[in-house]
Structure formats: structure tokens, C-alpha cells
Amino acid sequence: MIYNEDNHRESTLNNSMDLALQLRDAYNTLSPFIEKHTSIVCPECEEVCCIDKHSHYDKNDLIYLRALGAEVYLNPPYREETGPCRYMSEKGCSRERWERPFRCTYFFCNPLLKSLENDSAKLYRAFLDYFQYVISVRQKLLE
């Protein structure tokens, strides 16, 4: 078979889109367990860790979102980076988990981590396993 650059590009784009869709689905599967615990921990928080500088997308976030054809929000220069995240609402983040920068999904403050760990051992173990799956799909997409 002769190498065809156009076919290779199309195959790569299709594979990237498939992986991005898998990642979005994985975020949607993972989110309810995390949201269950953020709804317990975050309203009582005295040191809000969701500050605006963490809402900035990095290069890898942009690869993922562009593969989905999703809207990408630019980082407004006038926002105070140490102020509350621009997506913070009374009920937590106003964005779906799949739309957030990855750091918003993988960061767990100590009280949140303790809450996750105190859930049933079976659910917590399933969460850890599935989180590893999320990381592996994301890594494949970025390769």
C-alpha cells in the first residue's frame, strides 16, 4: 500500500475525534461521583481553591476541545487571577466537567479527598480505577 498523506491526516483526525468523544463520555461518567462530594465539601469551604488562574486552558485542554469542535473560552486579561473562578456559581462550577480545564478535574483538596475516601470502599475503588481510565484516554489523545 502506498502512503497517502491525506488519508493519514483524515485517519489521525478521526482517531483524535473518537478519543475526544471517549474522553468526554468518561468525564460525564466520572462527574456524578465527584459532584456528590463537592456538593458536601465545597459549600463549607473557608479557603476556596477554585481561583481564576486555574480556569485557564492549557495546550492539552485546547487539543481535546478542538478535537470535539467545542467552543474555547479565551482567558480575559482583565480578570484578577487570585479572584474566584469566573465559572464559579452558587452551586459550584457552571461548566460541565468535560468543558473544564483538566486541572479542575484532577485537583482534590484535602477535605474533598477525605470525603471521596470515606465513601463506600467499592465506590471509591471504582472511582480510582475509572480515573486512571480517563488519564489513559487523555494521554492517547495527546499522543
Whole-angstrom distance, CA of residue 91 vs CA of residue 106: 19
* The pLDDT of residue 106: 87
Angle (nearest 5°) at CA 141 between 140 and 143: 65
pLDDT at 9 over 70: no
Which amino acid is residue 119, in one-letter code? D
Q: Is 116 helix (H, G, I), strand (E, B) or coil?
A: helix
Question: What pLDDT sits at residue 75?
Answer: 73
> Where is pLDDT greater, at 75 or 9?
75
What is the DSSP-derived secondary structure letter of residue 134?
H
User: Dihedral sign, CA of 36, 42, 43, 45?
Assistant: positive
Query: Do residues 92 and 35 make contact, with C-beta atoms less than 8 angstroms apart?
Result: yes
Give the torsion through C-alpha atoms of 109, 110, 111, 117, to 10 deg.
110
Q: Which residue has the higher pLDDT, 48 or 119?
A: 119
pLDDT of residue 112: 92
Identify the three-state secondary structure at position 123: helix
Of the ranges 17-21, 59-63, 90-94, which one carries the lowest mean pLDDT score? Answer: 90-94
CB distance 19 to 67 below 8 Å: yes
Provide the pLDDT for residue 33. Answer: 95
Q: Taking all residues of the chain, what is their mean pLDDT, rounded to a whole number?
A: 85
pLDDT, greater one: 104 or 132: 132
Q: How confident is the model at residue 8 (pLDDT cuts 50, 70, 90)?
A: very low
| pTM higher than the cut 0.85 | no
Whether pLDDT at 43 is above 60: yes
Does 45 have pLDDT greater than 90? no
Nearest partner of 75 among 50, 61, 57, 92, judged by Cα = 57
